[in-house]
Copies of this chain bind each other. A is one copy, B any other.
Amino acid sequence: MNKPVCLVIGAGAGIGGHVARRFAREGYHACLVRRSDQAGLDQRVAEIEAEGGSASGYLLNAVEEGSIEQLVTHIEAQVGPIAVAVFNLGAQIGDRGLASTTLKQFEMGWRLATLGLFRLAQVLFPHMEQRGQGVLLVTSATAAMRGNAGQHAHAAAMGGRRMLCQSLNAQFAGKGIHVAHIVIDGAVDAPDTLGKMLGPERFQALRQQKGLDHDGLLLPAEVAQTYFHVAHQHRSAWTFELDLRAHSDLAWWNQSSSAALK
């Protein structure tokens, strides 16, 4: 294949899916990866193809030993060189306080968000280093910079990953690999993200009751614009870290959300 590859690990209907689509529109072959939901995955690929783009979908349990490693090796060998990788796996396991967070949940958050990124870098960076270029974009959250009450698994996984991004950047920037840590500071307007938190019905009800539309949520198609920009910055002016947030804080949402903790 002549197209450069954009690999998106964690490509659902939110940020990941929109980023894949954005890159596909610009001539990348998008490799979309998610844990389950073959139908949803096919739909994402079909949407891209309907726009004239090129994409392929992969179901993958990213915490499984060797899974990310095999996928990257396969894509590099069979599909094409991965120019851009987007790591979009979260660790928001809906934790609610210390007593209710199990060791398994705490470990799973780390396996997904932190170890997963380390494993991706280990298998991908030698390829990129050999080519003297490559991009790794990591979707992060406010929890990477501020641990909130009750969100122990999320905070620990995100905080560890942020420092990992820094140490990767410190080792590999000079070798042409651009690592960017993108802090999503707010709720994304995506069915599955919100569904995990409040349930879609409750969220819709809240939105209607407050008389707001989408304003105050991060729109994933707009988020994807900045992912694309950062991936194409000239190497004389790279961004390592930036935040993305809605102009309006959606304060009522944040309050509802944290109120649920008490």
Contacts and interface: CB of A to CB of B under 8 A. Distances in A.
Copies of this chain in the oligomer: 4
Contacts of A28: none
A189 B146 CA distance: 27
Give the interface residue-count category, chain A. 35 or more
A98 B125 contact: yes
A114 B107 CA distance: 10
A237 interface: yes
Most buried by B among A110, A145, A160: A160
A215 B237 CA distance: 11
Interface string A13-44: 00000000000000000000000000000000
Given A114-B160, A173-B247, A237 B241 contact: no
A163 B140 CA distance: 14
A241 B244 CA distance: 9
Interface in A93-139: 97-99, 103, 106-107, 110, 114-115, 118-119, 121-122, 125-126
Lowest 9 A-B CB distances belong to which pairs?
A160-B160, A159-B163, A147-B166, A147-B167, A242-B242, A149-B170, A155-B163, A222-B234, A147-B163
Given A156-B164, A225-B237, 15 more contacts: A103-B115, A107-B115, A147-B163, A147-B165, A151-B167, A155-B160, A156-B160, A156-B161, A214-B236, A229-B229, A235-B247, A235-B248, A238-B247, A240-B245, A242-B243
